[in-house]
A = this chain, B = another copy of it.
Amino acid sequence: MPSEISFSIGDLAKATGTKVETIRWYERVGVLAAPERTSGNYRAYGAEHLERLSFVRRARDLGFSLDQVRDLLQLADDRNQPCDAVDRVAREHLEKVERKIADLEALRHELRDLIGQCRHGTVAECRIVQALSPQFGPAGISRRA
């Protein structure tokens, strides 16, 4: 007797704050198992899907790629394994985030410089424009008629 509760894709979407299309997408790319279907060919999800999708969404919010999410899910399923592998994925991701922050901070610095130099004159004397069109790249061009 299949007395388990089940709910539609729309319900699952609402419960997890995910768009319906995204859920179908997750199924296609294999981060969410394909659920049973009703007689009318509707997807019928159970509690395990809700759990799974919550995990996926949370990991995505934390910036993990879908590939990483797949890895994490697989790792998380192996309940008796040591969790070093999970830890490693997280650390790698943290490093990536830190690199990105550093890059963006450098960018911020450059942009602030740029903007700070603007004297609000005409474009012809605009430092921003000048900074964007720098003294050309490596030489070696003008030798080919």
Contact = CB atoms under 8 A, between A and B. Distances in A.
Interface of A: 5-8, 11, 14-17, 47, 50-51, 54-55, 58-59, 62-63, 72, 75-76, 78-84, 86-87, 90-91, 93-94, 97-98, 100-101, 104-105, 107-108, 110-112, 114-115, 118, 120-126, 128-129, 131-134, 136-138, 140-142, 144-145
Nearest to A101: B104
Contacts of A78: 123
A128 B50 contact: no
Given A54-B134, A115-B87, A82 B121 contact: yes
Given A83-B128, A123-B75, A128-B83, A17 B97 contact: no
Given A59-B132, A112-B94, A129-B76, A144 B11 contact: yes
B94 A111 contact: yes
17 contacts: A6-B144, A8-B144, A14-B138, A51-B136, A54-B133, A54-B134, A58-B133, A62-B110, A75-B129, A76-B132, A79-B122, A82-B123, A83-B121, A87-B118, A87-B120, A87-B126, A93-B111
